[in-house]
Amino acid sequence: MSKKLFFGIIAFIFLNTVSFGQTKDEKAVSDAVEQLRSAMVNGNKAALEKLTDEKLSYGHSGGHIDDKKEFVTKLTNGSSDFVTIDLTEQTISISEKVAIVRHTLKAKTNDGGKPGEVHLKVLLIWQKGKGGWQLVARQAIKITQ
């Protein structure tokens, strides 16, 4: 194999790998989603407050909508207790300072001391501000099988 062909193939692979990688903002949003997942499992009030916008609209699969205060309170007082949260099939789409994230969420819960499981499709809307990306809205639907 000639050197030109070899280096041409290497360049092609490198450029295709780079073009399919995450942008800086996509990586930041992905990191924020992971920080939120961890904060929800751990009931970390400071992280939950930092990652959510003051005008948060957090829609549950059952139809109830929490504002920021209710969302944080439920996760820190145990009335909404995530034991585990696994996220799969995540996609991120960014337009300027707004990110749309979709994923599948499977979780084990212990809400009010009652063990359970949830299987959801989730839509998250994130907005980039001075302090980084913050969750503005969330809506979930139950996965029916």
78-135, pLDDT tens digit by residue?
A: 899 999 999 999 999 999 999 999 999 999 999 988 999 999 999 999 999 988 999 9
CA-wise closest residue to 127 among 92, 100, 89: 100
Question: For the chain, which residues make up each domain, given as ranges?
Answer: 24-142
Kindly provide the b/e burial profile for residues 100-136, where b requires at least 16 CB atoms within 10 angstroms of the residue's own CB. ebebebebebeeeeeeeebebebebbbebeeeebbbb
Model's pTM, two decimal places? 0.83
Measured distance CA(114)–CA(65) in Å, rounded: 21
CA-wise closest residue to 124 among 106, 142, 104: 104
24-142 CATH fold: Nuclear Transport Factor 2; Chain: A, (3.10.450)
Q: What would the two tokens of residue 44 be?
A: 């970390």
User: What confidence tier does 28 reach under pLDDT thresholds 50, 70, 90?
Assistant: very high
Q: What's the pLDDT at 20?
A: 55
